[in-house]
Structure 1
Amino acid sequence: MSLMKFQKLPPKAVREAIPRTVWALGAVSLFMDISSEMIHAVLPLFMATTLEASALAIGLTEGAAEAAALVTKVFSGMISDRFGHTKLLVFAGYALAVFTKPFFALATTVEQVFLCRFTDRVGKGLRGAPRDALIASVTPKPILGAAFGLRQSLDSAGAFIGPALASLLLAAFSESYRFIFWCALIPGIICLALIVFEVKAPEPKAGRKVNPLSREAARMLPISLWLLLALAAVFSLARFSNAFIVLRAASCGIRPMYVPLVMVAMNAVFAFSSYPFGRLADRVRPTLLLSFGVALLAASEAVFAAASGPVWILAGVALWGLHLGTTQGVFSMLVASLAPEALRGTAFGLYNLASGGAALAAGLLAGLLWDRFGSSASFAAGAAFALFTLALLAVMRRRSLRAL
C-alpha cells in the first residue's frame, strides 16, 4: 500500500494494519514495565531510607545502570544484524531482567542494589536493539511512526500501572519495600510466556550479510544518522534519571506511600500521548515534533527547579510525560528510517550507545549538583541542556536534516 493510501486510512484501519508481532512486543513491554516499575518507583526511597544511600550514590547507581543497558544494545544490535537471531536475543534479555527481581528483595547493601540494577539493565540492553529492529522489519514504512508509538504507549502503560500497584502495596503492607520486590516477579514471568508463544520473527533474508564492525558498514551508515546520534547524546544530557523526580517529589512534602503516584501520573501522560504523536510523525516532519518535545522538557525542568509543593510537582510531571510521548517514538522512527535495512540493529545500538554515555554523565552531574547545591540546581542544569539541544536541533534542521 502506498504512503498516501496509508495516510488516508482512518485510525482503526491504521491500528489493524500494524502487524501482530508489534502488538505482541507491545504486550511484552507492558508486562515487563509493570514488573520493573514496581521496583523502580520505590527503589530510590528504599536506598535513601532503608540503606541510607546518598543522592550521589543513587545517581551513580541509576546512571551506571542505564548506561550499561544502552551500551549493551550496541553489541546485541550487531549480533542481530550479523546472525539474525532477533527473537532469541529478545528472550534472553527479558529473561535476565526477570532473573534479577528476587535479588532486589534480598539486598542489604547499596553495592548489592547496584549489582542488581546493573544486571537488570544489561538484560534491557540485550533486548532493546533487536526488538526495535524486529519491529522495523515487520512493519510497512508508511506506518513506522504508528508502530513505534504503539509499542511505546503499551510500554508506558506498564510504567504507570507498576507504580500504581507499588503505591497500593505500600499502603496495604505498611511500606514494605521488599514485599513489592517479590510481587514484581509475577508480571515478569507473564512477559516471558508472551515472547515464546506470540512473537514471530521473520526468516533471515538470503544473501551476504554485512559485518557491522567493517569499514563497509561504516560507509553504509549515512551522515544524517550520525548527526541524529549526536543530537540524541546532547538531548540525553538534559534527561537524567527519574529517580531524581521521585526524590524531588518527596522533598516537596509528598508522603512516601504517595510518591509512586508521581510516576503513575508521568507515565499515564507518556502512554496516552505516544501513539497519537507517533501517528502524527507519519504525517508531518518528525524534527518539528522533536523541537516541540525538547521545549516541553525545558519547561518541565524549570518547573521542577522552582517547585515548592505537590501542585508544582504534578505540573512538572505532566510536562515531562508529554515530552517523552513526543520524542521517544519519533527518535526510534528516525533511526529505522535513516539506517540501511541490513544494519538496523547496529543503528539502534549506536543510537542507544550515544544516549547511554550521556545518561551516565547526566546522572553523575545531577547527583553532584544535588548534594552540593540542592535539588533546584540539578533541574536548572537540565533545563539549560534542553535549551542548548533545542538550538542545536534548529541549526541541524536548516543545514543537515532538512528532509526530516
Structure 2
Amino acid sequence: MNGSAEPNKKRLFTMNPVILVLGLVSLFTDLSSNMIVPILPLYLTAVLHVQVGAIGVIEGIAESTASILKLFSGWITDRIGKHKLLMLMGYGLSNLTKPLFALSASWSQVLIIRFSDRFGKGIRTSPRDALVADSTTKEERGKAFGFRRAMDALGAAIGPLAAFAILAIYAGNYRLVFWLSVIPGFLAVILIAFFLKEKDRRENVKQASLPKIGFRNLDRRFIWFSLIFTFFTVGNFSDAFLALRAQDVGMLPAFVPLAFFALNMSSSIFSMPIGMLSDRIGRRPVLISGLLIFAAIYFGFGIVKNVPWIWVLFVLYGFYYAFTEGIQKAYIADIVPEGQRGTAMGTFNAMTGLAALPASIMAGYLWQTFGPVAAFSTSSAIAVIAALLMIILRI
C-alpha cells in the first residue's frame, strides 16, 4: 500500500516525455492558430466586407473537412501502428498555409486557405489523441489529456494576446498578424520531427485484427456517447460568432483578442485539475456538468446587454472547455482497447466535426433572420437535451 503511494505522488509532479512534447506542440500550434482565429471574422467583415452568413459557410466547410479526415487518419494510424508520421504531415500542412491569409483578397480565397489549414488538422488530430491514450494508464489518463488540453488552451490564450499587441502597435494591420503566426507553428513542427518518440507498434498491429471503419465491434457506450455529442455539436457553432457577438454588444475590435485570451487562460488553468478530478470521480459526471455549463453560458451570450458581462461570459466559457474537451477523449480511451483507439477517436471526431457544418450555417441563418438571441438560445436548449440524454441513458 505504502509502496504504491510514493510513485503515484511522484507522478503527480512529473510528466510522461511523450505527453510533455505533445503538450508543447499543442502550445505552439494553438498560439499560431489563435493569432488568426479571433481576428479572422473581423478581417472578413471589416476589410473584405463579407456577410455573417458567409462566415458560417466558411467555418462550417472548414471544420467538416477536418472531421472527415480525422476518421481516415485515425484508421490509418491503427493500421500502420504509427502516429508520428501523420502528425508531422498534418502539422506541417497547417503551418504552411497560415501565411496565405495575408495574401487573400476575397472570401472564397479565405475559404480555400481555411480549408487547407483544417485539412492538416484532420490528418493530425486522431493520431495525436491515440498516442496520448496509448502512452498512459486509465488512472492517469484524465491528467494526461487535461495537461495537453491545458497547454493547448495556454497557446490559444497567448495567441490572441499577441494579435492584440500587433494590432495595437501597427494600427489594425491584420496581414502582419497572419505573417507572424507562422513562427510558433514552425516550432511545433520541429518538436514533432526531432523530439517526439513513440514505441514501435507494428508487431502488435500484425497480431491484432485490423480495425474497420464504422461502429462494428466498438463498445455500445462509445456509440451512444458519440451520437449524443454529435447532437450537441449541432448547437455548438464556431467560436467566431462569439467575436461577432462581443463586437455587436459594443466591445472594440482591438479588445476582442483579449476576450479570447481570458477564455483560454481560464481553460488552461482548470483543464488539468478537472482532468485529475475525472480520474477520481469518473468522466460521466464531469461531462454532464460541462454540458450544463455550456447551456448556461450560451444563454447568457444571447441575452447579454453590455461589455462587462461579455468579459464574464468569456472567462466562464473556459470552464466548459476544461470540463469537456480532454475528458471526452479520456472517456473514449477508457472504453476502447489499444489498437482501435485511432479509429474510435477518428470516428468520434468525424461525427462531431461533421455536425459543425449545419451548426455554423444554422447559427448564421438564425442570427441574420431572428437575431443573436435566437442563435444562442437554440444552442443552449440543445446542450440541455444532450445532458439529459446522458443522464437517462446512463452513458
Q: TM-score, normalised by structure 1?
A: 0.94
**Shift in Å, 1:218:** 4.7
Matched, 1:52 2:49: yes
Counterparts of 1:94-173 in structure 2, within 5 Å, are 94-173=91-170
**Shift in Å, 1:208:** 2.7
**Contact 1:6–1:143 at 8 Å: present in 2 too?**
no
Matched, 1:371 2:355: no
- Which residue of structure 2 aligns with residue 13 of structure 1? 11
**Contact 2:71–2:343 at 8 Å: present in 1 too?**
yes
Q: Supply the AA of the counterpart residue of 1:75.
A: F
Q: Supply the AA of the counterpart residue of 1:337.
A: D
**Contact 1:82–1:209 at 8 Å: present in 2 too?**
no
Matched, 1:293 2:290: yes
**Shift in Å, 1:23:** 0.5
**Shift in Å, 1:53:** 0.7
Distance 1:353 1:237 in 2: 13
Residue 204 of structure 1, aligned match among 201, 206, 219: 201
Percent identical among aligned pairs is 38
- Which residue of structure 2 aligns with residue 283 of structure 1? 280
Query: Structure 2 stretches of 5 or more lacking a match?
Result: none
**Contact 2:82–2:200 at 8 Å: present in 1 too?**
no
**Contact 1:32–1:188 at 8 Å: present in 2 too?**
yes
**Shift in Å, 1:222:** 1.1
Distance 1:238 1:294 in 2: 11
Residue 28 of structure 2, aligned match among 27, 31, 50: 31
Q: Supply the AA of the counterpart residue of 2:211.
A: P
**Shift in Å, 1:359:** 1.3
**Shift in Å, 1:7:** 11
Residue 316 of structure 1, aligned match among 313, 330, 339: 313
Distance 1:295 1:218 in 2: 28
- Which residue of structure 2 aligns with residue 335 of structure 1? 332
**Shift in Å, 1:8:** 8.8
Show structure 1 runs of 4+ deviating over 3 A. 4-10
**Shift in Å, 1:141:** 2.2
Give the secondary-structure state (helix, strand or coil) at the position aligned to 1:341.
Answer: coil
Query: Structure 1 stretches of 5 or more lacking a match?
Result: none
Distance 1:8 1:237 in 2: 43
Per-residue CA deviations over 1:243-268 (Å, capped at 9, x if unaligned) read 00000001111111111111111111
Distance 2:4 2:310 in 1: 43
Distance 1:186 1:103 in 2: 14
Per-residue CA deviations over 1:123-181 (Å, capped at 9, x if unaligned) read 01100000111111111221000000000000010001000000010000000000000
Q: Supply the AA of the counterpart residue of 1:152.
A: R
Per-residue CA deviations over 1:253-293 (Å, capped at 9, x if unaligned) read 11111111111111111111110000011000211011111
- Which residue of structure 2 aligns with residue 381 of structure 1? 378
**Contact 1:299–1:319 at 8 Å: present in 2 too?**
no
- Which residue of structure 2 aligns with residue 68 of structure 1? 65
Distance 2:16 2:186 in 1: 24
Per-residue CA deviations over 1:304-358 (Å, capped at 9, x if unaligned) read 0111111121122122110111111110001111112111100000010111121
**Shift in Å, 1:213:** 2.6
**Shift in Å, 1:41:** 1.3
Q: TM-score, normalised by structure 2?
A: 0.96
- Which residue of structure 2 aligns with residue 325 of structure 1? 322
Name the Cα RMSD after superposition. Answer: 1.8
- Which residue of structure 2 aligns with residue 242 of structure 1? 239
